[in-house]
């Protein structure tokens, strides 16, 4: 057992280690949720991937449903996804998706792509995604059609994530991230910007 998972055996460091362990469990559950139907994932599989025992998963999350309700929530991820001023937000979000794929093999926002795998749980995933990602982005945007433009901008980002991480497009994956940002961000920015009004004169 690694140091990150011995939280109850290291006096004075339990809180920090517990948080690391819980984060490892959530990460393992996310990984499995992106590859298997919710009903096919066992707590043992989550525990094995996280490097902990199944009782430890139960200790921290109570049961499988409680764990996956946490995994199907985007609140913990959307802050970093939207963490840029509006004038640089398109570039930031494109870079966020690409960096997540290149460095961690996934981006948390892309969990929505696998919603059809999860039956009723997929409906929860969709509802959370709309409220926590699309609607929060729309709140940042000017213009009467902000909600539409937010969904279109997110659609572009999901498409890029799918091409990079799922279809594994060789040219996108081989390109320098900043090169892709330079080429792709203007399309995202076009949706983020308020539509121009016609000159009344």
Taking each helix axis from N to C end, the angle separating 64-71 and 54-61, rounded to the nearest 10 degrees, works out to: 70
Tokens representing 76?
């913990």
Q: Are 101 and 141 found together in one domain?
A: yes
- Tell me what pLDDT residue 197 has: 63
- Read off the tokens for 132: 């926590």
67 burial level (CB within 10 Å; 0-12, 13-18, 19+): buried
Band of pLDDT at residue 5, cut at 50, 70 and 90:
very low
**Interval 46-101: pLDDT, tens:** 999 989 999 999 999 888 878 877 777 788 778 889 999 999 999 999 999 999 88
How far is the CA of 39 from the CAs of 55, 60, 122, 138, in angstroms?
Answer: 19, 20, 11, 33
Q: Determine, yes or no, domain membership for 198.
A: no
Q: Which residue has the higher pLDDT, 40 or 189?
A: 189
Q: Are 133 and 93 in contact (CB under 8 A)?
A: no
pTM listed for this prediction: 0.74
Higher pLDDT pick, 184 / 108: 184
Range of the domain at 186: 75-192
60: left (phi over 0), alpha (psi -120 to 50) or beta: alpha
Q: Is residue 58 part of a domain?
A: yes
86 and 59, same domain (yes or no)? no
Domain holding 14: CATH number?
1.10.357.10
Q: Where are the alpha helices (DSSP H) in 39-88?
A: 43-50, 54-61, 64-71, 75-81
Q: Which two tokens stand for residue 77?
A: 């991820």
In a domain, 199, yes or no: no
Lowest mean pLDDT among 16-20, 140-144, 170-174: 16-20
pLDDT at residue 39, as a whole number: 77
- For 96-115, what is each residue's pLDDT tens digit? 999 988 877 667 778 788 77
Given 27, 50, 71, the domain boundary residue is 71
Helix (H, G, I), strand (E, B) or coil at 141: coil
Q: Is the pLDDT of residue 10 over 60?
A: no
Q: How many domains does the chain have?
A: 2
């Amino acid at each position: 057992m690694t140091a990150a998972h011995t939280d109850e055996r290291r006096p004075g460091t339990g809180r920090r280690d517990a948080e690391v362990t819980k984060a490892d469990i959530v990460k393992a559950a996310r990984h499995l949720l992106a590859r298997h139907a919710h009903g096919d994932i066992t707590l043992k599989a989550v525990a094995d991937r996280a490097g902990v025992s199944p009782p430890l998963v139960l200790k921290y999350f109570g049961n499988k449903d409680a764990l996956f309700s946490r995994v199907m929530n985007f609140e913990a991820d959307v802050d970093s996804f939207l963490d840029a001023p509006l004038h640089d937000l398109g570039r930031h979000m494109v870079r966020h998706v690409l960096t997540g794929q290149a460095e961690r093999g996934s981006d948390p926002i892309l969990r929505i792509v696998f919603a059809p795998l999860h039956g009723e749980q997929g409906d929860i995933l969709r509802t959370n995604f709309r409220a926590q990602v699309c609607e929060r982005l729309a709140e940042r945007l000017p213009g009467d059609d902000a909600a539409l433009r937010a969904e279109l901008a997110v659609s572009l980002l999901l498409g890029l994530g799918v091409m990079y991480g799922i279809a594994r497009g060789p040219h996108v994956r081989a390109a320098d991230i900043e090169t892709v940002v330079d080429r792709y961000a203007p399309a995202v920015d076009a949706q983020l910007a308020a539509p121009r009004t016609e000159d009344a004169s």
